[in-house]
Amino acid sequence: MNPRQDFPFFSKRPELVFLDSAASTQRAKPVLDAMQDFEESHYSNVHRGSSTLSEEATESYEQSREIVATFIGAQPEQLVFTRGTTEGLNFVAQARTYASVLYTELEHNSNVLPWKMRARQTFLMKPTDLTITPDELNEALQEHKPKLVTFTHTSNVTGITNDVKELCKVASDNNVQSVIDFAQGAASSPIDIKKVPCTFLAFSSHKMYGPTGIGALYGADLEAEKPFQFGGGMVDAISENNITFSPSPQKHEAGTPPIVQAVGFAAATTYVKEHQRYIKDNVKGKLAKALTEALHSVPGVSLVAENTFIGSFTTSHHSHDVAYLLGAHNIVARSGHHCAQLLAKRINPTGTVRASLGIYNTQEDIQQLKEALEQTMKKLA
Amino acid sequence: MEDIYSARVLEEYKHPKNFGTLSSPTHQSKEANSCGDTIHMFCTVNNSVITEIKFSGKGCAISLAAASLLTEFVKGKTIADVNKLTENDMHQLLGITVPLSRKHCARLALTSLKEALEK
């Protein structure tokens, strides 16, 4: 199996070593094909009109919802299409006003700012290590007694995955609602929501080989939530003095949704599902190990976490300098705080360089990174 | 892609001029940018003329080279001269075409110096 062949990007840009999948992945061919076929043969607006074409498009759109929901073990009515993880988290933060929310130091800004802006009170939990332990979470919940706790499934800085099943159980035992930021986990870690008692879970298509502009929010009981955006396609009836919203998920999807992207998103979840064993054995297994070994072998490089698919590292030089010079060797890596400033500043005030793996990366990519990094370090020394 | 890490930029980064502090500056300011870089400017000004200048801080090669080149350039110049300096002047001092994503790096030292002289 050679998944790299499934990505037309690499035949068009063979010179590039793409190590920035944690920011956004390349698009898989089955995803592009599904979108193109829908565009060319089935496109129409959805949930509007009674034409055969509109019904056809609506069927594809709702079928996409079912496929994405099944990907996480949820029911279609428990899944709202969003613009991405950020909008999903904002949905939860805006649908109701939470009296108090606990978040952690490991979060992406999109899982910090919505709560800081919308909750009446927020508490920051600082895990001792770069992972959230059930005991530490329990302690924090007992101390602050928040209404809701939110945490990342997999850190976008370290690639470390938290035991979200146990964390959600701790939250549930404390009678606290829980939110999982699944953005980095979706492409790498299968989840069955029936076994993970969270209240909400948000993820994005573009971090799992699907298109940008679409994501999903799972809610255990979305019917109980108020809409946070308003527009067409979300009401059953409206009069001067009365509004009857449609049932979930329609009432949460105001306006024309990203229809083509939903089709692509569904194809992406299918693609990931079909490659889960490969991802586990290679991306999170052999390649992650090789990435750690390669980075360790370069003098002056310090790794933030070992054997993860996100190789964040620091050197005595600024992360932007290192990443920029790697770019001159055709290595696409990211530098800075990775929109997770609380964590990045804890690790290093001027950020880290991040080389993150996707399904298309190879041992040769890692070797090229190693050689480019050696030359970069020499140049800056 | 032009190599913004020119010999001059690398030299100023590796061996910055005027790096350090002044014990009794008449003017000083510490500025940071979104990357976490900080440049702390220390100046002694007599009759509106900069007679001594040092800087300290942490930053990327571009922001440190810019601070080194700027501090060297403004010695003996007046506050009015400094206030006339622009981002383009910083790019000229660096001698490179600064890409959009690194303009804030080239600007930081000038922002810090202007802020110090305003106080």
Q: Half-sphere exposure (CA, 13 Å, Cβ side) for B72?
A: 14
- pLDDT value at position A345? 81
Q: Is the pLDDT of residue A72 over 70?
A: yes
Task: Compute the distance between CA of residue A294 and CA of residue A301 in angstroms, rounded to an integer.
Answer: 10
- B2 lies in some domain: no
Q: Are A68 and A210 in contact (CB under 8 A)?
A: no
- B54 lies in some domain: yes
The CATH class, in words, for A276-380 is alpha beta
Mean pLDDT rounded to a whole number for chain A: 96
- In chain B, whose CA is at the least distance from the CA of A335? B35
pLDDT (tens digit per residue) in A124-167: 999 999 999 999 999 999 999 999 999 999 999 999 999 999 99
Do B36 and A351 count as a contact with CB atoms less than 8 A apart? yes
- The CA distance from B7 to the nearest CA of chain A, in Å, is 10
Q: Is the pLDDT of residue B1 over 60?
A: no
Do A351 and B105 count as a contact with CB atoms less than 8 A apart? no
Do A320 and B102 count as a contact with CB atoms less than 8 A apart? yes
- pLDDT value at position A324? 95
Q: Which residues of B touch A350 (CB under 8 A)?
A: 35-37, 58-60
Q: Is the minimum CB–CB distance between A350 and chain B shorter than 8 Å?
A: yes
AA identity, residue A95: A
- The CA distance from B117 to the nearest CA of chain A, in Å, is 26
Mean pLDDT across A199-221:
98
Q: Are A262 and A214 in contact (CB under 8 A)?
A: yes
Q: Which residues of A touch B61 (CB under 8 A)?
A: 317-318, 321, 380
Q: Is the pLDDT of residue B2 over 70?
A: no
- B91 lies in some domain: yes
Q: Is the minimum CB–CB distance between A120 and chain B shorter than 8 Å?
A: no
CA pseudo-torsion sign A191, A194, A198, A202:
positive
Residue at token pair 């105001």: A254
Q: Find the CATH number of the domain harbouring B31.
A: 3.90.1010.10
Q: Is the minimum CB–CB distance between B32 and chain A shorter than 8 Å?
A: no
Q: Which residues of A touch B37 (CB under 8 A)?
A: 318, 350
Active site annotation includes A339: yes
CATH code linked to domain A30-273: 3.40.640.10
Which tokens hold the place of A228? 């946070």
- pLDDT value at position A274? 97
Q: Report how far apart, in Å, the C-alpha atoms of B54 and of each of A266, B14, B17, B21, B72 are.
A: 58, 16, 8, 5, 9
Mean pLDDT rounded to a whole number for chain B: 95
Please write down the HEC assignment for all residues of A231-297.
Answer: CCCCEEEECCCCEEECCCCHHHCCCCCCHHHHHHHHHHHHHHHHCHHHHHHHHHHHHHHHHHHHHHC
- B68 lies in some domain: yes
Picking from B58, B61, B105, the nearest residue to A349 by CB comes out as B58
Residue at token pair 């802006």: A117
- B1 lies in some domain: no
Task: Compute the distance between CA of residue A112 and CA of residue A156 in angstroms, rounded to an integer.
Answer: 14
> Given pLDDT bands bounded at 50, 70 and 90, which one contains residue B35?
confident
**Which residue in A200, A198, A203, A171 sits closest to A188, CA to CA?**
A203
Q: Half-sphere exposure (CA, 13 Å, Cβ side) for A140?
A: 29
DSSP per-residue string spanning A183-228: TTTTTT----TTTS--SEEEEESTTTTS-SS-EEEEETTGGGSPPS
Do A337 and B105 count as a contact with CB atoms less than 8 A apart? no
Task: Compute the distance between CA of residue A350 and CA of residue B35 in angstroms, rounded to an integer.
Answer: 6
Mean pLDDT across A106-117:
97
Burial class (CB in 10 A: 0-12, 13-18, 19+), A311: buried
Do A321 and B5 count as a contact with CB atoms less than 8 A apart? yes
User: DSSP assignment, residue B75?
Assistant: T
Interface test with chain B among A320, A325, A338, A347, by most B beta carbons within 10 Å:
A320
pLDDT (tens digit per residue) in A33-52: 999 999 999 999 998 767 88
CA angle B77, B79, B84 (to 5 degrees): 90
Q: Is the minimum CB–CB distance between A194 and chain B shorter than 8 Å?
A: no
Task: Compute the distance between CA of residue A77 and CA of residue A247 in angstroms, rounded to an integer.
Answer: 9
Do A320 and B3 count as a contact with CB atoms less than 8 A apart? no
Task: Compute the distance between CA of residue A312 and CA of residue A210 in angstroms, rounded to an integer.
Answer: 24
List helix spans (H) across chain A. 8-12, 29-41, 52-71, 85-95, 113-118, 134-144, 164-173, 259-274, 276-278, 287-296, 319-328, 341-347, 363-380
AA identity, residue A112: V
- In chain B, whose CA is at the least distance from the CA of A378? B10
> Given pLDDT bands bounded at 50, 70 and 90, which one contains residue B3?
confident
Interface test with chain A among B5, B14, B34, by most A beta carbons within 10 Å:
B5
Domain range annotation of chain A: 30-273, 276-380
Mean pLDDT across A14-29:
98
Number of Cβ within a 10 Å radius of residue A37:
14
Q: Half-sphere exposure (CA, 13 Å, Cβ side) for A338?
A: 36
Is the ipTM here above 0.90? no
- pLDDT value at position A378? 95
Mean pLDDT across B74-94:
97
Q: Are A322 and A348 in contact (CB under 8 A)?
A: no
Catalytic residue among A16, A23, A298, A339: A339
SS3 (DSSP) at B22: coil
**Which residue in A201, A187, A218, A205 sits closest to A260, CA to CA?**
A205
Q: Which residues of A touch B4 (CB under 8 A)?
A: 324
Q: Is the pLDDT of residue A54 over 70?
A: yes
Q: Which residues of A touch B15 (CB under 8 A)?
A: none
Do B36 and A328 count as a contact with CB atoms less than 8 A apart? no
Number of domains composing chain B: 1
Boundaries of domain holding B36: 7-118
Do A30-273 and A276-380 show the same overall fold?
no
Task: Compute the distance between CA of residue A150 and CA of residue A156 in angstroms, rounded to an integer.
Answer: 15
